[in-house]
Amino acid sequence: MFLAEPQQTPYDFNFQIMGFRVRVSPFFWLMAIVLGWSWASAMAQVYSRDRVSPAALKVMDDPSNPMYQRVAANLKLVDSNPGQGMLLLIWVAAVFVSILVHELGHSLAMRRYGIHSYMILYHFGGLAVPDSAGSFMGMSRRSDPYQQIYISAAGPGLQLALAGAVILLAKVAGYKVAGYALPVEIPHLSELLHLDAGRPIASLPLLALAQFTLLPSIFWAILNLLPVYPLDGGQIARELLTMYSPRDGMKNSLMLSIAVGGGVAVYGLANDQMMLGMMFGMLAFSSFQILQAISGRGGGYGPW
């Protein structure tokens, strides 16, 4: 099962943050490298010396050329290119911080309700596991729905706050964030927040750090808010639908999970996003299995 705690290994990285124990499975690093490989290599190539055209160098001879500023900024990025290995390292560090902040959101929310927890980072991202109540699901069943929704939303919420903090920091430092530094172009957001104003980031490690923090933070938070089990959005959907209909809420949330998970799977496979497609295909299938299991028992609640 997805929420089963991964086994401890001698290669686990253990530490404490804000009073919470954190265990990082070696497969977390492996998955981060696999996911970041193409980003790092694409960035290393785009800003390589070989890609600088003679035409671009000619622009540098004439400061009155309207393209001058842009080419100059790009050349600074080329000059500061630390290479694919270093860019990959920046990616792994950024993903680590991003996922850790996500789990920290859950753990801090649980602490607010007197539930102590610890965090695990593993190949599917992260988990914040309550110490006392045995299983996460077991706890969620007994607690009050608003409390559960708050705990589930706090992870993606804090992660989006991290993305917001990176954008704010860049703005305060006078950099423009729109375009290359922002992984998704949200209509009107750039104008609204003046993201396009300011000078371009002229150091590739810094640009990579901003981009590689924003990209996983925004995508991971949004993916996790989809109403699919056992993601945070799936937990929120279950609580909301159960409040609306105590009898059928669980069943309805599972059907929603199958529909949305299946939809994302098809979208992923149709758009060459194999990882996304496979992950959500598996989630939709496991929701289907749970639905069958509870339907067989006359719509009673599952063990979670």
Which tokens go with 5? 């705690």
Closer to Zn ion by Cβ: residue 231 or 265: 231
In the complex, minimum distance from the CB of residue 236 to Zn ion, in angstroms, rounded to a whole number: 10
Q: 151 or 204, CB closer to Zn ion?
A: 151
Residue nearest to Zn ion (CB): 155
Among 130, 155, 227, 277, binds Zn ion (CB under 5 A): 155
**All residues at 6 or more sequence positions from 43 whose CB lies less than 8 Å from its CB, including other chains:** 87, 204, 208, 211
Q: Residues of 85-98 as b/e, b for ≥16 C-beta within 10 angstroms?
A: eebbbbbbebbbbb
SS (H, E, C) 68-91: HHHHHHHHHHHHCCCCHHHHHHHH
Cα–Cα distance, 198 to 181 (Å, whole number) = 13
58 vs 112, beta carbon nearer Zn ion: 112
- Shortest distance, CB of residue 103 to Zn ion, whole angstroms? 7
Lay out the sheet containing 20-24: strands in order across. Answer: 13-17, 20-24, 117-122, 125-130
Q: Which of residues 182-241 bind Zn ion (CB under 5 A)?
A: 232
CB of 210 to Zn ion, least distance (A): 23
Q: How many residues bind Zn ion (CB under 5 A)?
A: 2
DSSP assigned state of 226:
S
CB of 171 to Zn ion, least distance (A): 27
In this structure, the chain runs to a length of: 304
Least separation in angstroms between residue 126's CB and Zn ion is 7
Which residue, 74 or 217, has its beta carbon nearer to Zn ion? 217
CA distance 110 to 104: 10
Q: Which is nearer to Zn ion, 74 or 107 (CB)?
A: 107
| Residue 232 or 239 with smaller CB distance to Zn ion | 232
Of residues 232 through 271, those in contact with Zn ion by CB under 5 A are: 232
288 C-beta neighbours (distance < 10 Å), count: 16
Cα–Cα dist 38/18, whole Å: 34
Contact region for Zn ion (CB under 5 A) — 150-158, 160-168, 244-252, 276-284?
150-158
> Judged by CB under 5 A, which stretch of 27-35, 39-47, 147-155, 254-262 contacts Zn ion?
147-155
Give residues in contact with Zn ion (CB under 5 A): 155, 232
